[in-house]
Amino acid sequence: MIIERIRAKSLIKEVTPSFFSWAKVYLNPYQGCWHDCKYCDGKAESYYMHEDFANRIKVKVNAPELLEKYLKKRGFFSSNSSHSLLNYLDATVERIQMPSPSKFVIFVGGGVCDVYQPAEKELQLTRKLLQIICDYELPVFILTKSTLVLRDLDLLKAINEQTYASVNFTITLADDSVRKIFEPRASSSEDRFQAISQLRKEGIHSGVYFYPCLPFIGDTTENIKNIFRSAKKVNAEYVITWGLTLKPGRNKNEFIDTLRKHYPHLVAKYLELYGNNDKYGNFDKKVFKRLGLVLPRVKAFRYNYEMKLGYSPIRYIPEKTNKVNLILSEILLKISHLKGFIMHKNFTFIKELYSAALYIEALKVSVEEILESNNSVKLPISKSVLSIIQDYLEKGYSSILQETEKEAYHHSLQFKS
Ligand code: SF4
């Protein structure tokens, strides 16, 4: 492994919080990933990563500086009294004088490189970032394939006590002999499950990102059931399932080469399935149908429902934000997900739900106030979306979301698994 230390100009990417992590800020001190997963789309040319992605790891050594600078600029203060006493007192005075900004979740490891790959053992950059997040009392979200994250349990617990910590594992293959083919240098799937168990015992949020679920390999009934059973057993909060994308170029070529070696009988099917060379790596829908495949997220939803395992991460609602607005936005996004991605229904309505969710998320005033002041006409949302909002406001829970989940469950039952 070659470690290349670099001083980066930028680190932070701001996004609209989504179903994927609810994080608003993404950052990653690493470029390149030693785990060398054979389906890794980080290797795709479109991410502008270097060719020897798995063996040469670029490290943004100034990542902690950049994060601290960003947080200060956003009006946050460190509560770490181990900085010089004068700085600490200055910050405390300023903190009292200034209104503190509302918090947001920071995704450490957003992008395409694992922040707990082996280089982290020695470099401890992710740990330094967590220390800053802890000092600034902000919430954190992590997604990894390495149990090295447990090294930082002390910090994660401290962050979780202050605000919220969510540590998630990508787990795609229950059988370790198959896992070794596709994720040769990551922790074993069993170790990852055990790490979830440990995190949950400490009260830290944790779930399974079951993707990419590989056609004909990971989407078998056996693998899906085993992943869900193990997730349930270790008290994971949710399992999020998604399929495989293969971007033309390095990403696809390397995956096909792996198949040639270990699953030669599947090569022709994959070449056909991804023969459209879609720039985002999506499969050819017609071939997908002809091969009798079913979307893994649809098959898996029955287990989410039956095992009472969520299908999205638990959302952190910061103080000083409009709680009801954020809950409503989440409900709308969930209904849009179930209708769009599980049941494939009425796309106009799904779009309406999605844009209403984004609108409400960004709204400065509470939806309740707008409705009470009879200004609902001013809300740019349709009657159907409004009825979902009113249902929640009247009952304190969303009966429409519950019904939609039931409907999605019955839909998923049509597909044998
Ligand atoms: S752990 Fe993630 S980033 Fe690293 S090689 Fe595997 S898929 Fe790529």
The tens-digit pLDDT sequence of the chain (417 residues) is 899 999 999 999 999 888 889 999 999 999 999 999 999 998 888 776 777 889 999 999 999 999 999 999 999 999 876 655 566 666 666 666 666 788 999 999 866 799 999 999 999 999 999 999 999 999 999 999 999 999 999 999 999 999 999 999 999 999 999 999 999 999 999 999 999 999 999 999 999 999 999 999 999 999 999 999 999 999 999 999 999 999 999 999 999 999 999 999 999 999 999 999 999 999 999 999 999 999 999 999 999 999 999 999 999 998 878 899 999 999 999 999 999 999 988 788 899 999 999 999 988 888 988 888 876 557 788 899 999 999 999 999 999 999 999 999 999 998 865
**Domain at 362, CATH number:** 1.10.150.110
C-alpha pair distances (Å), 83 with each of 46, 72, 77, 384? 41, 15, 12, 54
CB atoms within 10 A of CB 27: 23
How far is 37 from 54, CA to CA, in rounded Å?
9
Q: Which residues constitute the domain of residue 154?
A: 2-306
- The answer to whether residues 243 and 375 belong to one domain is no
- The answer to whether residues 190 and 58 belong to one domain is yes
Residue 112 CB–ligand 1 contact under 6 Å: yes
Residue 194 covered by a domain? yes
**Domain at 52, CATH number:** 3.20.20.70
Mutate to test the pocket of ligand 1, among 26, 33, 144, 187 (most ligand atoms within 8 A of CB): 33
Residue 314 covered by a domain? no
- The answer to whether residues 53 and 201 belong to one domain is yes
- The answer to whether residues 109 and 209 belong to one domain is yes
- Residue 407 Cα to ligand 1 midpoint, Å, equals 35
Residue 332 CB–ligand 1 contact under 6 Å: no
From the alpha carbon of 144, which atom of ligand 1 is closest?
Answer: 1
- The answer to whether residues 161 and 290 belong to one domain is yes
Residue 143 CB–ligand 1 contact under 6 Å: no
pTM equals 0.93
Residue 311 covered by a domain? no
Domain tally for the chain?
2
Cβ atoms of 54 and 32 closer than 8 Å: yes
